[in-house]
């Protein structure tokens, strides 16, 4: 094998040079990251109390330690998970999802659509082409909506933050209840037979099918996963750092149980209020979770907190405005009402049970 | 002449994709027809469901991500 001296003109992702070396480098980087991850609590403690010499048990010390521990932890987790999901997404494309869902019956279709939504790439500017693509391929309206609820709500960034800051139980609860809402809300809208509230031009669309490209090489899949990390982590990290900074302030300075009176279990109106407050908040989902985590530590109830996060992520005003191009107001209102009702049930249920 | 379409409803990621393609075409001095199409009709007709997307001569080659310049060069047969 000859080496080309001019590395500038050579597309590195597209050549198969030294795949073993690259793989070894990747494994080494992962090993260092895992080793670092396990030592983060000690490192944060050491820096806070031995290097900066803050007093143990002080407000500032507690806030700084929290920040120094949580920021690298969440960012490391985020890089790892976004990479793995990015890799999975090179197989699970919206085109495949559509082909898969086109032949499904309604109830099974809702379940499959919600599951497929977890790992399918989605940004709200893709909502309209995706909607048209699904509808024109004969995917039922309710099934399409199950997908459109699940895809943004149950996503890897939210799950990483929940896992990193709340632990696996809350992350699993969020995953399970989020999927349930997507399935039930989509199924309900399917039962309501609201096809006539879709803008009629959608049905007149001449839908094509994108050809399946050449099978991808592993090196291309890895390159796409790395690109996903750059794009997603590159976009959300300032929100994560800012969110954790505010969370650290709450963690260090707000007295424990301060919030119990108005965000606690006994305040029945807290859940609907959390849902309403969540609607206008949109791109700051990555920043809201760290803040909410700190609130939970100060006496806010888990159901209220879950409802707030789901509302922030699933019911976004910009997405509704984008969807208005294909859905009539009645259908948008039904969509919002059904999802909001699901979130309310989740909020009340967890406040009652836990 | 090759026809390159950059497709997307006009979000920042789509603009970035157009910029990458434009840069590649200009630096290579390529004689192609480069268009930016924001219509959902065109996306539907091409079967594109995730934006941004790139189609060369009516065939989708990139969907749902911002490609790097090297990849665009490769897709256009410049290396």
Average pLDDT, chain A: 82
Per-domain boundaries in chain B? 3-75
pLDDT at A211: 64
Query: Per CB distance under 8 Å, which residues of B are interface residues toward A?
Result: 8-11, 13-14, 40-41, 43-51, 59-61, 63-66, 68, 70-71, 73-74, 79
Res. A206: pLDDT tops 80: no
Q: How many CB pairs under 8 A join A and B?
A: 97
Long-range contacts, A203-208 (Cβ 8 Å, 24+): A203/A135, A203/A136, A205/A132, A205/A136, A205/B40, A205/B41, A205/B44, A205/B45, A206/B41, A206/B44, A206/B45, A207/A132, A207/A133, A207/A136, A207/A137, A207/B44, A207/B45, A207/B47, A208/B44, A208/B45, A208/B46, A208/B47
**Out of B44, B71, B73, closest to residue A205 by CB:** B44
d(CA B25, CA A155): 35
Between residues A293 and A311, the one the model is more confident about: A311
Distance from C-alpha of A126 to C-alpha of B33, rounded to nearest angstrom = 25
Which residues of A fall within a CB distance of 8 Å from B46?
Answer: 208, 210
Closest Cα in chain A, distance from residue B13 (Å)? 9
By C-alpha distance, which of A35, A33, A64, A73 is closest to A240? A73
Q: What is the mean pLDDT of residues A317-323?
A: 83
pLDDT at A6: 41
- Cα distance from A150 to chain B (closest Cα, Å)? 16
Contacts of B65 in chain A (CB under 8 A): 121, 224, 227-228, 231
| % chain A with pLDDT above 70 | 86
Distance CA A253, CA A258 (A): 11
Higher pLDDT, A265 or B13: B13
pLDDT tens for A8-61 read: 444 444 445 577 888 888 889 888 988 888 888 899 888 888 888 888 888 888
Backbone phi and psi for residue A170, each to the nearest 5 degrees, phi listed first:
-65, -40
Task: Check CB contact under 8 Å for B50 and A126.
Answer: yes
A86-110: per-residue pLDDT in tens? 888 888 878 888 888 887 788 888 9
Can you give the pLDDT at residue B79? 66
Q: Is the CATH number 3.40.30.10 carried by domain B3-75?
A: yes
Q: What are phi and psi of A56, to 5 degrees?
A: -65, 140
Q: What is the ipTM of this complex?
A: 0.83
């Amino acid at each position: 094998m000859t080496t080309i001296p001019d590395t500038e003109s050579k597309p590195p992702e597209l050549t198969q040079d030294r795949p073993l070396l690259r793989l070894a480098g990747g494994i080494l980087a992962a090993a260092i990251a895992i080793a670092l991850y396990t030592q983060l609590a000690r490192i944060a403690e050491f820096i806070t109390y031995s290097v900066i010499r803050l007093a143990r048990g002080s407000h500032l010390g507690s806030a700084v330690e929290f920040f120094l521990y949580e920021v690298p932890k969440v960012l490391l987790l985020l890089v790892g998970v976004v990479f793995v999901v990015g890799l999975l997404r090179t197989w699970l494309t919206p085109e495949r999802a559509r082909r898969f869902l086109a032949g499904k019956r309604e109830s099974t279709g809702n379940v499959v659509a919600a599951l497929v939504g977890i790992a399918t790439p989605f940004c709200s500017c893709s909502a309209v082409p995706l909607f048209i693509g699904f509808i024109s391929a004969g995917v039922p309206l309710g099934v399409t909506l199950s997908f459109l609820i699940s895809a943004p709500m149950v996503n890897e960034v939210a799950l990483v933050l929940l896992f990193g800051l709340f632990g696996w139980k809350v992350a699993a609860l969020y995953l399970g209840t989020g999927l349930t809402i997507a399935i039930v809300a989509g199924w309900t809208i399917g039962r309501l037979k609201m096809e006539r509230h879709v803008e009629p031009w959608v049905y007149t669309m001449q839908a094509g099918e994108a050809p399946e490209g050449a099978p991808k090489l592993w090196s291309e899949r890895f390159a796409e996963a790395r690109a996903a990390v750059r794009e997603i982590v590159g976009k959300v990290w300032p929100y994560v750092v800012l969110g954790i900074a505010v969370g650290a302030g709450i963690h260090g300075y707000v007295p424990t149980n301060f919030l119990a009176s108005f965000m606690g279990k006994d305040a029945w109106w807290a859940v609907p209020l959390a849902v309403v407050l969540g609607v206008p908040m949109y791109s700051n989902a990555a920043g809201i979770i760290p803040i909410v985590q700190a609130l939970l530590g100060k006496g806010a109830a888990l159901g209220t907190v879950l409802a707030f996060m789901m509302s922030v992520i699933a019911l976004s005003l910009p997405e509704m405005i984008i969807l208005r191009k294909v859905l009539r107001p009645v259908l948008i209102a039904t969509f919002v009402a059904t999802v909001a009702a699901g979130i309310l049930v989740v909020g009340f249920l967890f406040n009652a049970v836990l | 002449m090759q026809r390159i379409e950059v497709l997307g409803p006009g979000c920042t990621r789509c603009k970035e994709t157009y910029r990458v393609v434009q840069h590649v075409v200009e630096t290579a001095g390529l004689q192609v027809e480069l268009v930016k199409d924001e219509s959902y009709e065109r996306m539907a007709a091409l079967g594109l469901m995730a934006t941004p997307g790139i189609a060369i001569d009516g065939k989708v080659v990139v969907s749902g991500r911002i490609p790097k310049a090297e990849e665009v060069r490769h897709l256009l047969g410049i290396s």
